[in-house]
Amino acid sequence: MQTASARENIFDTKETIEFSGFGRIVGGYLDDKDLAFQHYQNNLSFTEQSLLALRVDAHLSDKLKLVTQGILHTGTIRENEVQWLYLQYQASRSLSVRLGRQRMPFFDFSETNDVGFAYPWITPPIQVYTDFLFFDIDGIMASYEFSGKDVSGAIESYFGEFEGELTVAETSSQTKLNNSRGLILKLNYDSFTFRASHHITQVDLGLKPIVEFRDILRSAELNDAADSIGVEGSIEFSQLSLSYDSFDYFMKTELTRYDSDFLAFPDVKNGYITLGYNFYPYSLHLTYANSVEEYDRPDNLIPVGINSELDALSFGFDQILMQLNSDGLESVTLGLRYDYSDNVAFKTELAKLNGDDNARGLFTENSVSNPGNKANFFQVAVEWVF
């Protein structure tokens, strides 16, 4: 029989349930009236990246807790959603296991990508932190932490799957990730932090225009041509990062590479380096970022000049290849942060953008009047945690 004090302890939410959250108000302006970058245009807008999130940690026992996080976006390209919903079991002081929906751990700031207060930028370098790779995952993740005399760190591994709608270059598709798995190594030494990870997944992008055109090619018995414009296959993703953070100075660099064995997903090399100076309550950073993207474009083997039907299919094949726009982009960003308090920060940034000639260059709208995709991008933000 439970005593009165035991019953009170069960319903004592201060001990069993923890609430936390974060928010941000972000404004952006692009100085070219014919372009759009991350959906910002030639007018000041506060709707594209502003958000509010609430996290709940429900401690079910001293080793087991339920974590959920919901997020509200003001922008139209992301849905309001329950972003996390997983059980975490602390098997020992070193080993923990998560089961449920969580963020795919591709990058240094994968879990905190929406928490602007956690990093120096307003927008993490889009060349690396592309929305294309920000999948959630339904699965299991294990983390083992270790500590030595001079070095500490963790080894993590996960397995899972994902299914949902993904929008890339203004094209939405129902995307599936199967047999996704990865291994992550984190090391800390003095003021340095190192991270390396490798990920493999089976992807079906489900791009409707390509899928429908492949069906037409197969009905015409052009199977080789149909197979050459695949939307499903395997992707391998690798990541390396190194950070240095002292009282006065900080440095961050992150390099990523992903390779695929099908047409609709390119082979890409991305990276950035950030150098910063702290003079509390201010900090200043300069960031250079770049991305290089290549598609392994197949030859058009559909014969022309035989009949009008084959001519039309050959033209359609060329049109599909033309839709595979390059996303190469070089940028230099100067940013200033002011920590108003221990949980509120104000930021401002100016980025010089230099896209590849006659390519999409990570812009959401392009223009023939600016084929080099060159523009200046200005942002202001207030970030907070609670």
CATH number at residue 236: 2.40.160.10
Number of structural domains found in the chain: 1
Q: Is residue 1 part of a domain?
A: no
Residue 314 contacts by C-beta under 8 Å, 6 or more apart in sequence?
300, 302, 303, 304
Q: Is residue 20 part of a domain?
A: no
Q: Is residue 7 part of a domain?
A: no
pLDDT of residue 12: 45
What is the distance between the alpha carbons of residues 285 and 252, in angstroms, rounded to a whole number? Answer: 10
pLDDT of residue 6: 40
Tens of pLDDT, residue by residue over 209-247, are: 788 888 888 888 888 888 888 888 899 999 999 999 998
Q: Is the peptide bond before 281 cis (omega within 30 degrees of 0)?
A: yes
What is the distance between the alpha carbons of residues 85 and 276, in angstroms, rounded to a whole number? Answer: 35
pLDDT of residue 168: 54
Q: Give CA angle at 120 (372, 74), nearest 5°.
A: 75
The answer to whether 161 touches 352, Cβ cutoff 8 Å, is no
Q: Is residue 235 part of a domain?
A: yes
Q: E strand or H helix at 313, and its extent?
A: helix 308-322
Domain coverage including residue 235: 29-385
Q: Is the CA virtual torsion 183, 188, 189, 191 positive or negative?
A: positive
Q: Which residues of the chain have pLDDT under 70?
A: 1-15, 131-134, 166-172, 323, 325-326, 357-359, 368-369
The token pair at 22 is 């974060």
Tens of pLDDT, residue by residue over 111-166, are: 999 999 999 999 999 999 986 666 789 999 999 999 999 999 999 999 999 887 76
Q: Is residue 21 part of a domain?
A: no
Q: Tell me 297's DSSP state.
A: P
- Find tokens 């590849």 and name the residue: 356
Residue 283 contacts by C-beta under 8 Å, 6 or more apart in sequence?
120, 250, 276, 277, 336, 337, 339
Rounded to 5 degrees, φ, ψ at 299 are -75, 145
Q: Is residue 19 part of a domain?
A: no
Q: Is the peptide bond before 209 cis (omega within 30 degrees of 0)?
A: no
Q: Is residue 198 part of a domain?
A: yes
What is the distance between the alpha carbons of residues 77 and 84, in angstroms, rounded to a whole number? Answer: 19
- Find tokens 């759009």 and name the residue: 36
DSSP lists the bridge partners of residue 140 as 99, 159
Q: E strand or H helix at 4, and its extent?
A: helix 4-10
Q: Is 29 exposed, middle or buried (0-12, 13-18, 19+ CB in 10 A)?
A: middle
pLDDT of residue 205: 81
Q: Is residue 10 part of a domain?
A: no
pLDDT of residue 356: 74
- Find tokens 């197949």 and name the residue: 298
